[in-house]
Amino acid sequence: MTKTTPDPRAVREASLDELDRLSLPLPPPTFPLVWEPGDGVELRETPEIEARAAILHVVVARCFGMPTEAAMHWLLGSHLVDLVTPPEWQFVIGAKGDHRSFVLHHDAVFALAWLLGLARHLDPTAPPEERLMQQMPHLPAGETFGQWRSRSLMSPRDPVEAAVLLDLYYCLDWAFQEAERAGRPLPGEIDGNAIGQRRWALEWAVVFIGPFHDRPPEWEEVDLSV
């Protein structure tokens, strides 16, 4: 359901207040807003978010020893192969690509789980909840995508709440990178890579409707350079 976005400047002020509370550097006054006044916001369809979370969960499992054949069998049996991106598929079938970057997707899964209501927080100072793995498909037991969806009590977040958190993570991504470049201490237990992964998931899942927004990007099209 599409909702009207809150005042982006008021949201930005709250994001900057949070950066200040965490003793992080503040972005310059010209730092872009995420949306414009009057824009609409919605989340991608719940099945789409569920599928993306499950695929990334399998990719992370491959990083930690899930056999190629088992991963392929699970994706085929779940009818998710068409939604796997080319880089993900190359990694799943042949371990090609940057292993470390795929491991980092654990934090993207965490953000998607938060959007689905499976995680209780997305605290930028804390690692993913220990219960996260229990909330995702139990791959060693052969739990299918359909079985996971049936047992999970998905309660997607309000799109306005998600948009507000996206603005915060947009600012946090800049602040963490700047702090790391300057050798400044970080406020918690995670680094800029984890913040970037969470922002990636939020950027992909939160859809804005307005004259200055293009079509929602595919997963690999999300631009984290700004």
Domain identity same for 120 and 163: no
pLDDT band of residue 1 (cuts 50, 70, 90) is confident
Domain identity same for 177 and 200: yes
Q: Write out pLDDT tens, residues 186-223.
A: 999 999 999 999 999 999 999 999 999 999 999 999 99
Structure confidence at residue 124 (pLDDT):
97
Structure confidence at residue 163 (pLDDT):
98
Give the end of a domain, one of 151, 170, 205. 151
Residue 78 maps to a domain: yes
* Residue at 7: amino acid letter: D
How many domains are contained in the chain?
2
> For residue 81, what are the domain limits?
46-151
Structure confidence at residue 33 (pLDDT):
97
Give the end of a domain, one of 151, 176, 199. 151
pTM above 0.95, yes or no: yes
Burial letters for 41-69: b for 16+ Cβ neighbours within 10 Å, e otherwise? bbbbeeeebbbbbbbbbbbbbbbeebeee
Domain identity same for 170 and 140: no
Residue 226 maps to a domain: no
Domain identity same for 55 and 132: yes
Q: How far apart, in whole angstroms, are the C-alpha atoms of residue 186 and residue 129? A: 19
Q: Given a cut of 90, is residue 32 above it in pLDDT?
A: yes
Q: What average pLDDT does this structure show over 162-189? A: 97
Domain identity same for 133 and 66: yes
Q: Given a cut of 90, is residue 81 above it in pLDDT?
A: yes
Q: What average pLDDT does this structure show over 136-142? A: 94
Q: What average pLDDT does this structure show over 18-30? A: 97
Residue 80 maps to a domain: yes
User: Could you identify the residue written with the tokens 């599409």?
Assistant: 2
Please, are residues 219 and 52 in contact by the beta-carbon 8 Å criterion? yes
Share of residues in the chain with pLDDT > 90 (%): 93
Give kind and range of the element (H or E) at residue 108. Answer: helix 105-115
Structure confidence at residue 226 (pLDDT):
80
Q: How far apart, in whole angstroms, are the C-alpha atoms of residue 52 and residue 110? A: 12
Structure confidence at residue 104 (pLDDT):
96
Q: Write out pLDDT tens, residues 120-135.
A: 999 999 999 999 989 9
Give the end of a domain, one of 97, 126, 151. 151
Q: How far apart, in whole angstroms, are the C-alpha atoms of residue 114 and residue 12? A: 21
Structure confidence at residue 95 (pLDDT):
87
Strands laid side by side in the 3-4 sheet: 3-4, 40-43, 206-209
